Amino acid sequence: MAAVGWSVLRCASSFSGFILRRNVRQLSPLICRQDAFHQTHEVPLHAKYGGRNTVTLIPGDGVGPEMVTAVKDIFRYIGAPVDFEELNLSGLNLSDEDTFSDTLEDVVTSVKRNGAAIKGNIFTPLDQPTFKSLNVELRLQLDLFANVVRCKSIPGIPVRHGDVDLVIIRENTEGEYSHIEHENVDGVIESFKVMTEEKCTKVAKYAFDFAVKHGRKKVTAVHKANIMKLGDGLFLRCCEEVSKSYPDIEFNSMIIDNCCMQLVSNPEQFDVMVMPNLYGNIVSNIGASLVGGPGIVPGENIGGDYAVFESGSRHTGLDIKGKNVSNPMSLLFASTLMLEHLGWNAYGDMIHSAILRVVEKGVKTADIGGGHLTTDFLDCLKEEIGQMGNLSGAD
């Protein structure tokens, strides 16, 4: 990115005595992008006005609207310099495919304009064969090639393994999620798993770069190359080839079924894990269960130009919708990663620290062994933030 200058903005919070400072980079009207798999191209400057970022907000279905409301409430309370452009995208009560297609186009345009989004999960009906998951379509149209789920034990949440700290990186745009299947004759279905050298190499390199950036020591490639010798064999070979460029990062590989057993018996052996699409979906949910369940872990969908943040386990939660019992931690943690992505690190650190303190004090929703409602948790979170006093932060 080309920077033409630096300025320092002081952001006052909505409660007295709380001040955050941040350096803001002023960008040229167009940003030039180039990486190993993208030709040089120009990306319009993402929406930012008066030192504030605009982010696309997609409530989704189930408990999604409750969770994004919690994020907006906390952002408003701390005076985070983020404005939301809200668009509704739902997989419920669909009667006309053209309707949701138009809405999806609007959402994609918004994310491309803003550069980042935060979303609840969008329901995917099982009884409509022609209906493509809107969650998947959004990732495909924005080329969000990597899904990152961070699973880390939190003090105060009772789990079997108390020292879990692993990162699951999932190829996000192909594999079994390629949406290519058909019925040849009655009762015979062909479903294609598409693997490309470009995408396999790209997500492998992202995993190793992530390990370097975050001080991680090992990358494990998860596969089923003993059976799917061509498709998963290609993925494994790409990971092995990429690993040669990172001599300081330990590399190993593991078959997916053994990996699942090892995760529940000895998760401490894992650090960064990289895998094809479907395996990532399964392993992410196992990882979430290791640290407390779907209400805990955040998720990031990363592309060359855009990023979308959501719950790591992607559960819709239709059965607890409107009951005020859902755990807001996963999307709140995702919002802190979004703030970090935007460069507002101090705000993200403050929310993250406050969540941990609230849990340590025993304020927990039912899914993690507590008896508090969603609103109870959020009220205590605000109180904890208010007690933290002055905080100075920079990029």
Contact 132, 333 (CB under 8 A): no
Q: Which of 258, 291, 324 is the last residue of a domain?
A: 291
- State mean pLDDT over 340-354: 96
Report which of residues 371 and 48 the model is more confident about. Answer: 371
Question: Measured in Å, how far apart are the chain's first and last C-alpha atoms?
Answer: 16
Q: Is the pLDDT of residue 3 over 50?
A: no
Alpha-carbon span 394 to 322, nearest angstrom: 38
**Shared-domain flag, residues 283 and 220:** yes
pLDDT band, very low/low/confident/very high, at 208 (cuts 50, 70, 90): very high
Q: Which of 267, 291, 315 is the last residue of a domain?
A: 291
Quote the strand ranges of the chain, DSSP E: 3-12, 19-27, 30-35, 38-44, 48-49, 52-58, 82-86, 116-119, 146-152, 165-171, 181-185, 188-191, 218-223, 250-255, 272-275, 298-302, 307-311
| Token pair in block for residue 81 | 């310099």
In a domain, 13, yes or no: no
Give the pLDDT confidence of 365-375 residue by residue, as tens digits: 999 999 999 99
Give the pLDDT confidence of 122-173 residue by residue, as tens digits: 998 877 777 788 999 999 999 999 999 999 999 999 999 989 999 999 999 9
In a domain, 106, yes or no: yes
In a domain, 24, yes or no: no
Name the residue among 213, 233, 208, 209 with its Cα closest to residue 223: 233
Name the residue among 196, 110, 107, 218 with its Cα closest to residue 145: 196
Q: Is the pLDDT of residue 5 over 70?
A: no
Contact 54, 48 (CB under 8 A): yes
Neighbours of 178 (CB within 10 A): 16
In a domain, 12, yes or no: no
> pTM here?
0.85
Q: Which domain holds residue 250?
A: 159-167+174-182+190-291
Alpha-carbon span 300 to 340, nearest angstrom: 12
In a domain, 339, yes or no: yes
DSSP H helices, 343-373, are 345-360
**Shared-domain flag, residues 390 and 277:** no
Model pLDDT, residue 131? 77
